[in-house]
Amino acid sequence: MPVFINMPSLSPTMKEGKLSKWLINKGDKITSGDVIAEIETDKATMEIESSDDGFLFEKIVQEGDEKILVNSPIAIIKEEGDTEEKLNTFSKASDIKNTKTIPSDSDGKLNKRDENRDKETQTKEVTKSKNLDISSRIISSPLARRLAEQNNIDLSMIIGSGPKGRIVKDDLKLENLSEGNIIKESSLSGTSNGDAKFKDVPNTNMRKTIAKRLTSSLQEAPHFFLSVDCDISKLNEVRKIINDNNNLKISVNDFVIKASSKALKIVPKSNCSWNDTFIRYYQNYDIAVAVAIDDGLITPIIKNVEMKGLEELSSEVKELALRAKENKLSPEEYQGGNFTVSNLGMFGVKNFTAVINPPQSMILAVGMAEKRPVIINEEVMISEVMTVTLSCDHRVVDGALGAKWLKVFKSLIENPSLMLL
């Protein structure tokens, strides 16, 4: 008998996702365990497997569709003996299960259309599209999708007349297409009053999540910032010896990660997070590393840093960063962490402040290392200096505690042999 393939839950916090790509076509034979599609969550794109055998009968959800609720059907698999009646019954069931309300604009109204449009036509289009949000996924019946595919009709340009803006078979009839239920492309891309043009690009799930989490962090966590200059001349000498004699490429950032975990261990009260009724103190030292990717930012976690040598640490950082840029991280590899390191030194940034990654209580912003004149033993000398800025959540990390952690960190960075203790 036919069965549904449902949108899986790929992380404990996932409520909806985006179907980025189908890896199978209608009619293809499927075996349990076959990879059938790529799903985009708020942080990564992941492959999903079929748990049933059969043939792909219907794609309920199309590539690019967003806000697909967890456990809602995305496709139908049939067996060889399934009758047309059974399959039609399943298609109707998918129409019911997959229907959901499409949100309107933040003020509850539609976007303003061309002011010069004829009033009668404008009223007709607004009536048809009150529940339509072009950036949301297209809601249409399986039959309408088949007809659109057969006739090369772009469903994203059609205003549905069914419940909640659903596109149905009648919307694809020639007479209806000519009556104005096609959204003109100019109404979507728009131009300004002058000659300048603009393009609206829908926000990805990752971009929305970054905006939501960091806005919440700034609004809820009272940030304060502490900066210090670190002389990394000794560190670079040690790094050069290690790399030259072992054919390695240990980076300054690897030392920063190692020193951060060591400082958390030496100052245990700083290894914590705020909750409304308690403060949680951690006994592990997992460091998140900010990695820039095409759609935004992700923070893969290096776990148990205090137990790893620089070679192992460096190798793991490189591997996770590479997989992050390829959207191949699993949720457990980027969720959690006690502390975050964000390094913009490679972009020539001298110093900056970073927003805390909740529920963590601190994040370290690392700037570019440069040669500066410093006074050592009453003499002016040239040293390699790096400025770091610690952002702290004042609800749980007071100024003195943050300063103590930063003092220990500076001592470790300027005297890397202390990291061996």
pTM of the model: 0.62
Assess if residue 145 is contained within a domain: no
Total number of domains in the chain: 2
What torsion do the CA atoms of 334, 335, 340, 341 make, to the nearest 10 degrees?
0
Which pLDDT does position 242 carry in this prediction? Answer: 92
DSSP 182: B
Assess if residue 288 is contained within a domain: yes
Assess if residue 317 is contained within a domain: yes
Q: Which region, left, alpha or beta, applies to residue 318 given φ > 0 means left and ψ of -120 to 50 means alpha?
A: alpha
Pair 385, 244 in one domain: yes
223 given a catalytic annotation = no
Q: How many CB atoms lie within 10 A of CB 206?
A: 22
CATH number for the domain that contains residue 351:
3.30.559.10
Assess if residue 178 is contained within a domain: no
Assess if residue 287 is contained within a domain: yes
Last residue of a domain, one of 81, 97, 113: 97
DSSP 11: S
Last residue of a domain, one of 62, 97, 132: 97
Domain that holds residue 396: 222-420
Query: Do you know the residue count of the chain?
Result: 421
Which pLDDT does position 248 carry in this prediction? Answer: 86
> From the candidates 146, 372, 394, 404, which is the catalytic residue?
394
Cβ neighbours of residue 317 closer than 8 Å, sequence gap 6 or more: 253, 254, 257, 289, 302
Per-residue pLDDT tens digits for 193-237: 455 577 777 787 778 888 888 899 999 999 999 999 999 999 999
Per-residue pLDDT tens digits for 165-193: 778 777 766 555 544 555 544 444 444 44
Assess if residue 200 is contained within a domain: no
Last residue of a domain, one of 63, 97, 131: 97
Assess if residue 365 is contained within a domain: yes
Per-residue pLDDT tens digits for 253-274: 999 999 999 999 999 999 999 9
Q: Where residue 131 falls among pLDDT bands split at 50, 70, 90? A: very low
CATH number for the domain that contains residue 59:
2.40.50.100
Assess if residue 55 is contained within a domain: yes
pLDDT of 121 above 70: no
> How would DSSP label each residue in 166-177?
-B-GGGGSHHHH
Inter-residue contact 335 to 14 (CB < 8 Å): no
Pair 91, 231 in one domain: no
